[in-house]
Amino acid sequence: MIRLKTAAEIDTIGRAGEIVSGTLAHVMELAQPGVTTGELDRQAESFIRSHVGATPAFKGLYDFPGTLCTSVNHEVVHGIPSDRRELASGDLLGVDVGVRLEGLFADAAVTVPIGEPNPETARLLETTNRALLAGIDAAIVGATIGDVGAAIQEVVDQVGYGIVRELVGHGVGYSPHEDPQVPNYGWPGTGPKLAAGLVIAIEPMVNLGSPEIRTLDDGWTVVTADGSPSAHFEHTVAVTAQGPRILTGSRIRVGV
């Protein structure tokens, strides 16, 4: 069931989103060669809890052990932070984080290069970022979920990368994952209509190679089937009469 949010609830989700974007900005500053994803996770949890009433949304969710999802190189999403995973120059690091504040949730993700990216991975990041922004621009009152997916797909298809289809965006607010599902592909004019008060997490996951994925034996980490690099960008977005309102974006810049 799709549940619309009031203006006051959207403002609260936006305050949670400010903490999300601040967390991502903090992690991006710390993500350097030699730093472990476990250390990034501890720093993120400390940052979130330093805000009165804020708690990590992911830690313990479905028994996930971390505050962050940290996904490196061919890992698409849901990578588990570890003190054994040390970042190296040339890596791509995807960071996904959620925050709970006053019973409401916000969620965002960014993928960043460790050191200078090569031209191929820089283009992957730039394309995935553009796809996210195209999806956000399509999230207007009276449009459909299919319009959002089609806008994302058009950007990615022009470059020829693989769009992950088994994993999708989602409603967010009263819980970390709500209806409706928001695929990163689709057909204009199809699916549920977007109404003022809808809050959704739009999150393209794009592979440099094949769109196929698989899950590792840890039960969480999703990787590309062909070992190619992957990028993931996400914002929590409110559909309003004045247009889409990004609730997680004031302190981070996605892309390169």
Over residues 103-134, the pLDDT tens digits come to 999 999 999 999 999 999 999 999 999 999 99
| Confidence at residue 250, expressed as pLDDT on a 0 to 100 scale | 62
> Quick one: pLDDT band at residue 253, thresholds 50, 70, 90?
low
156 within 8 A of 131, measured Cβ to Cβ: yes
Q: Which CATH fold topology does 7-246 show?
A: Creatine Amidinohydrolase (3.90.230)
What the block records as the tokens of 190 is: 């199809």
| Cα distances (Å, whole numbers) of residue 217 to 114, 199, 210 | 26, 33, 21
Under DSSP, the state recorded for 37 is H
> Quick one: pLDDT band at residue 249, thresholds 50, 70, 90?
confident
Full-model pTM: 0.96
Over residues 5-34, the pLDDT tens digits come to 999 999 999 999 999 999 999 999 999 999
Alpha helices in the chain (DSSP H): 7-30, 37-49, 119-137, 145-159
Amino acid in position 164: V
Over residues 46-104, the pLDDT tens digits come to 999 999 999 999 999 999 999 999 999 999 999 999 999 999 999 999 999 999 999 99
Instruction: Order the strands of the 75-77 sheet from edge to edge.
Output: 75-77, 222-224, 213-215
Over residues 138-183, the pLDDT tens digits come to 999 999 999 999 999 999 999 999 999 999 999 999 999 999 999 9
Over residues 195-219, the pLDDT tens digits come to 999 999 999 999 999 999 999 999 9
The domain locations on the chain are 7-246
| Confidence at residue 117, expressed as pLDDT on a 0 to 100 scale | 92
